[in-house]
Amino acid sequence: MSSTTQDIAENILRSADLIKNSHHVVVLTGAGISTPSGIPDFRSPGIGLWTRYLPMEVASLTAFRHDPEKFYTWLHPLTSNMLSAKPNPAHYALAELQASGYISTIITKNIDGLHTRAGAINVLELHGSMNSLTCINCFQQVPSEGLIHEFVEHCTVPRCKYCGGIMKPDVILYEEQLPVKIWNKAEEASQRCDLMLIAGTSLEVMPSAKLPILALDNGAELIIINNMPTYVDVRAGVIIREDVAQVLPMILQEVCGA
Ligand code: ZN
d(Cα 243, Cα 58) in Å, to the nearest integer? 31
Give the residue numbers marked as catalytic: 127
- pLDDT tens for each residue of 170-207: 998 888 888 899 999 999 999 999 999 999 999 988 88
- CA of 160 from ligand 1 middle (Å) equals 5
| Edge-to-edge strands, sheet with 141-143 | 141-143, 128-135, 167-171
Q: Which residues span the domain enclosing 221? A: 1-39+87-127+178-258
Query: Residue 1: what pLDDT?
Result: 44
d(Cα 14, Cα 8) in Å, to the nearest integer? 10
**pLDDT surpassing 80 at residue 122:** yes
Give me the number of domains the chain comprises. Answer: 2
Q: Quick one: pLDDT band at residue 116, thresholds 50, 70, 90?
A: very high
The number of CA neighbours under 13 Å toward the Cβ of 46 is 0
- pLDDT tens for each residue of 59-94: 888 888 898 988 888 888 888 888 889 999 999 999
Residue that terminates a domain, selected from 171, 205, 224? 171
Q: Are residues 162 and 236 in the same domain?
A: no
Residue that terminates a domain, selected from 109, 142, 171? 171
- CA of 63 from ligand 1 middle (Å) equals 19
Domain assignment present for 48:
no
Q: At what angle do helices 244-256 and 89-99 cross, to 10 degrees?
A: 30
d(Cα 34, Cα 162) in Å, to the nearest integer? 35
- pLDDT tens for each residue of 6-63: 789 999 999 999 999 999 999 999 999 999 998 877 665 554 455 556 666 778 888 8
Query: Residue 76: what pLDDT?
Result: 85
Quote the mean pLDDT of the chain.
Answer: 90
Which amino acid, one-letter code, is at 87? P
* Alpha helix (H) residue ranges in 137-197: 147-154, 180-192
- pLDDT tens for each residue of 126-141: 999 888 999 999 999 9
Domain assignment present for 252:
yes
Residues with CB in 5 Å of ion ligand 1: 135, 137-138, 140, 160, 162-163, 165
Query: Residue 29: what pLDDT?
Result: 97
d(Cα 62, Cα 168) in Å, to the nearest integer? 12
Q: Are residues 108 and 6 in the same domain?
A: yes
